[in-house]
Structure 1
Amino acid sequence: MKKVLWLVAGLLMTAGSSAQKDAFAEKLFENYSDFKEESITKRRIKHENVLALLEDLESDKDLQIQKVGESIERRSLHLISLGSGDTDVFLWSQMHGDESTATMAIFDILNFFNSDEFQSEKEEILKNLRIHFLPMLNPDGAEKFTRRNALGIDVNRDALRLQSPEAKTLKRIRDSLDADFGFNLHDQSKYYNAERTEKPATISFLAPAYNYEKEINEVRGNAMKVIVKMNEVLQQFAPGQVGRYNDDFEPRAFGDNIQRWGTSTILIESGGYPEDPEKQEIRKLNFVSILSALKAIASESYKAEDISAYENIPNNDRMLFDLKLKGLTYELNGKPYVLDLGVNRSENDLEGNSEFYYSGRIVDQGDLSTSYGYKQIDASGMSLEYGKIYANKINSENELQQLDAGKLLQQGYAYVKVEASMLDNKYSNFPLNLVSEDFEVNKGLQPGKDANFFLYENGEVEYAVINGFLVDPNKAESQIRNTLIYK
């Protein structure tokens, strides 16, 4: 069997011994479980989850919690403040409703400050800083787990017109605080990689430009220095997995304008990490890097960082697939061709927008030699064949479970005909797709087609690709999260 290259969780390791280690960050990383807010472990969090956490925090006498606004649909916006220092730091999250990684990390950070650990470090931070968190700026978008707000606009493009109440609140809080530092906390696609490498851009940074010329004044320079420090920290735990976001000036965006208004602004984008669909590892990296940044600001140690190191952070690139197959043989009109395939799995929200299922599709094919995959195989010498439909109709769930899925996959079956009442759901947990009696396999390899096919070598099934998941037929149930139902 050809070797499968996996970008697995083992990427999260200590960097080379030549890198200077940050002891505070290392201890935070090792003890993260002491601070993780266990009531939220999935990205699709709602306003009610935030309210419950705020209610729990109300007993903490060191925190000040105040309602500072409302969304279009009248969901409350809250600011959490702590510390007594002269330097104001403002962190806001979930401006886009489906970007919640840092929202989870904020509550981990609040647990850190409410703990009995790290007393000397906390004393230094809180004595020198006044820290303010706005943990869910777009609760209406969060309710539907969608980017835009109830008006259908991108709040991050409303810094000039200020049409939405969410944007007005963000502007008013920034102005009232006249914050020295701002952290603009987002998520980006998991398909971004650190430029010209196979490693995902797990965290990406940007010190936004404040004009078209992309000039660097003291305000923007300080943001760059903080980013340099955060990158140094992250290299200890996710070496090579940090990217730098494009800094073209966007005059409507909040990050660019807040930089222009005099707040040193750090954009953090949480991207992808292998086998981490709910971004819990990335949440941990947010926790460590943000606290490390707060400590650097409190001690003013960031001032010693070299701005030129900011430019050495690799650019973001978007050259990752969930699955990349290299050099497979595909026959068309009697002629063999050699193709690479790129396959991605999209998330489809279920009713209530709290859970999802996957649908896997071919998104690119041809020469993909400049691309990478979270999973990738050298398929040279293998031929692609479409999945077959199992001939016997299945009439009940019990009858379906009696089938030997592994054996069917070894024989090249990707679909099972089932009784009509079994087609009411959108997905199935059985390792083969469920189809209606009149279903026909849509043959023809094109981007956009569902990813259900087999790789043969020497006449035998070497791999199955079912709903975009690469499958060893002997381990199908553990390797496929869900299949699809075709009516």
Structure 2
Amino acid sequence: MYTRFKAHWIFLFLLACATSPSFSQTAYQKLPVEKLEQAYTTYKEPAITHRRFKHETIQPLIQKHGTDFKLEELGKSVDGRTITSMKWGQGQTKVMLWSQMHGNESTATMALFDLFNFLEGENDGHDEVRELLKSQLSLKFIPMINPDGAEAFKRRNSLDIDLNRDAISQISPEAVILKQARDDFEPEFGFNLHDQQIYYNVVNTPKQATISLLAPAYNYETDINEVRGRAMKTIAGMNELLQELIPGQVGKYDDAFEPRAFGDNIQKWGTSTILIESGGYLGDPEKQHIRKINFMIILNALNQIATRGYEQYTTEQYFAIPDNGFQLMDLIINEMQVKVKGEWYPLDIAIRRRETENPAGYYMSASVEDLGDMQVFFGFETLDATGLQYLEGKVFPTPFESVNELTEAKAVELLREGYLAVKVKNGEARQVHPLPILVLKTTEKYSSGWMTGSATNFFLAKEGKPRYAVVNGYLIDLENPKKQEIRNRIY
């Protein structure tokens, strides 16, 4: 009798635990896309409009959240810039999110400030989600781990160290700060927020990997334990939403173990770690659309964690996400004729443009990435150059006073006449300009060529007459020039 009575009360107790909000999370439901989009539109941080912002830009934005968030100065960078954490929520499940470990990878930092605004909102139709997150999660954010790198918009810190290869040696003060923050907080989940090159694609397809995801390995064998498995299941849920937002444009980042990396080691130290890599999206050079995607998937992932909704997904769904490739080029020219020792040879060339930072802004610098048979690569722009021959350009002999004397129409006119470059009397070296022609100030010549590593400045000619110009990797159709954003420099 006593045993049956005791068993009955144990059953009632367990039933109460199962139905009580303090013992069980609300059932997981993926947040509707339209609600996420509405939240982003409402709470997008207006002070950040482009991806090249600095430490000084975000300091007042951090301070304005000092009422609802607990702010803590964790330490200083090599150059003495403060690194601050922001804590929000009262739940038992701890989640830590850190961004801009690499100074020029700022997309997720923008999205975090949008998220901070959302978490402080009220009476907007999102209160139920907000209250769920607040009651179930304790969130710790560290935006801009590498403020010195952000200042110069470069990957490494002021010691020229890659912070994501300093998790063990702890040479950099920024690495010490991040490791200490994780150890003090002991999060169950971690979000490692990065950007990847725009040339990553969903392997063997022409689609950009706009977002790539990874549950980093914690050993060389890439084993799966409970900690890593949780991260994989959470990613599977994130991918479900992403396929609504950017179908076919999600990749799985390489999971080869890197013993020096923070993501791999934080996974090893017991935090289920999720890597988000923001790549490229057509027509979004400042990554504002990808910023929106980051906001949406991070908010939905926090909802997953708060409700333990990740448990409904499987590691098999994670492994079904296609791998990243690195097969994208800015421009591929197929069957271009080049002359070597009196003979013409048809070949494909693949061109990439790379950003170079400059006190006046940034400019693009293009070169031949590869040549020969380029059928395994995909171009943002592709030209069939069958019947067209490689032709060197000339320098217009009469100098202009300055670059301001030139218009886009005048530049195209000169290109049609076979001039690929002009000289100016006045102007600063490396000054950025938007003209589809080379501008020379400090030199009488310019670099050109079609072999690997060569600067890509040449014509494609039909019977000796220029039909297309390639100027610093930008393709200009001389019969039908199109408007495009060009970032050249004065040489």
Q: TM (normalized to structure 1)?
A: 0.89
Work out whether residues 352 and 369 of structure 2, in 8 Å CA contact, stay in contact via their aligned partners in 1. yes
Instruction: Quote how far apart the aligned CAs of 1:469 are.
Output: 1.2
Equivalent residue in structure 2 for 1:362, among 368, 372, 383 = 368
Runs of 5+ in structure 1 lacking a partner? 1-20
- The CA RMSD over aligned residues, in Å, is 2.2
- d(CA) in 1 for partners of 2:226, 2:486: 49
Equivalent residue in structure 1 for 2:377, among 371, 376, 393 = 371
Instruction: Quote how far apart the aligned CAs of 1:130 are.
Output: 1.0
Q: Secondary structure of 1:373's partner? A: strand
- In the superposition, relative to structure 1, how do residues 456 and 42 fare at CA in structure 2: closer, same or farther (>3 Å)? same
- d(CA) in 1 for partners of 2:156, 2:436: 35
Equivalent residue in structure 2 for 1:82, among 53, 71, 88 = 88
| C-alpha distance after superposition, 1:91-127 (max 9, x if no partner) | 0011111111111110011112122331112222222
Instruction: Quote how far apart the aligned CAs of 1:334 are.
Output: 2.6
Does residue 218 in structure 1 map to residue 226 in structure 2? yes
Instruction: Quote how far apart the aligned CAs of 1:438 are.
Output: 6.7
Equivalent residue in structure 2 for 1:98, among 95, 98, 104 = 104
1:318 aligns with 326
Does residue 411 in structure 1 map to residue 414 in structure 2? no
- In the superposition, relative to structure 1, how do residues 414 and 476 fare at CA in structure 2: closer, same or farther (>3 Å)? farther
1:190 aligns with 198
- d(CA) in 2 for partners of 1:458, 1:480: 30
- d(CA) in 2 for partners of 1:138, 1:393: 44
Work out whether residues 69 and 88 of structure 2, in 8 Å CA contact, stay in contact via their aligned partners in 1. yes
| C-alpha distance after superposition, 1:150-192 (max 9, x if no partner) | 2222221222222222112111111121101000111111111
Instruction: Quote how far apart the aligned CAs of 1:408 are.
Output: 2.0
- In the superposition, relative to structure 1, how do residues 397 and 297 fare at CA in structure 2: closer, same or farther (>3 Å)? closer
Q: Which has the greater radius of gyration? A: 2
Work out whether residues 215 and 255 of structure 2, in 8 Å CA contact, stay in contact via their aligned partners in 1. yes
Work out whether residues 119 and 130 of structure 2, in 8 Å CA contact, stay in contact via their aligned partners in 1. yes
Instruction: Quote how far apart the aligned CAs of 1:341 are.
Output: 1.3
2:286 aligns with 278
Give the residue type in structure 2 aligned to 1:261: W
- d(CA) in 2 for partners of 1:148, 1:458: 49
Q: Secondary structure of 1:92's partner? A: strand
- d(CA) in 2 for partners of 1:200, 1:171: 33
Give the residue type in structure 2 aligned to 1:391: P
| Larger relative contact order (Cα-Cα within 8 Å, sequence gap ≥ 6) | 1
- d(CA) in 1 for partners of 2:490, 2:402: 15
Give the residue type in structure 2 aligned to 1:470: L
**Overall identity of the aligned pairs, in %:** 46
| C-alpha distance after superposition, 1:332-353 (max 9, x if no partner) | 333221111111111111127x
Q: TM (normalized to structure 2)?
A: 0.88
Give the residue type in structure 2 aligned to 1:278: E
- In the superposition, relative to structure 1, how do residues 396 and 263 fare at CA in structure 2: closer, same or farther (>3 Å)? closer
- d(CA) in 2 for partners of 1:272, 1:136: 21
2:397 aligns with 391
- d(CA) in 2 for partners of 1:443, 1:140: 35
Q: Equivalent residues in 2 for 1:2-401 (5 A)?
A: 22-29=30-37, 31-58=39-66, 61-116=67-122, 117=124, 118-351=126-359, 355-397=361-403, 399-401=405-407
Instruction: Quote how far apart the aligned CAs of 1:41 are.
Output: 1.8
Instruction: Quote how far apart the aligned CAs of 1:442 are.
Output: 4.6
- d(CA) in 1 for partners of 2:183, 2:252: 27
Work out whether residues 170 and 176 of structure 2, in 8 Å CA contact, stay in contact via their aligned partners in 1. yes
Work out whether residues 217 and 264 of structure 2, in 8 Å CA contact, stay in contact via their aligned partners in 1. yes
Give the residue type in structure 1 aligned to 2:470: V
Give the residue type in structure 1 aligned to 2:205: T
Work out whether residues 258 and 264 of structure 2, in 8 Å CA contact, stay in contact via their aligned partners in 1. yes
Instruction: Quote how far apart the aligned CAs of 1:415 are.
Output: 0.8
1:470 aligns with 475
- d(CA) in 2 for partners of 1:46, 1:374: 30
Q: Secondary structure of 1:143's partner? A: helix
Q: Secondary structure of 2:483's partner? A: helix
1:9 aligns with none
Q: Which moved more, 1:433-442 or 1:181-190?
A: 433-442
- d(CA) in 1 for partners of 2:247, 2:264: 28
Q: Secondary structure of 2:406's partner? A: helix
| C-alpha distance after superposition, 1:330-384 (max 9, x if no partner) | 23333221111111111111127xx311122222211111011122222223333
Give the residue type in structure 2 aligned to 1:223: A
- d(CA) in 2 for partners of 1:78, 1:438: 47
- d(CA) in 1 for partners of 2:118, 2:383: 42
- d(CA) in 2 for partners of 1:220, 1:107: 28
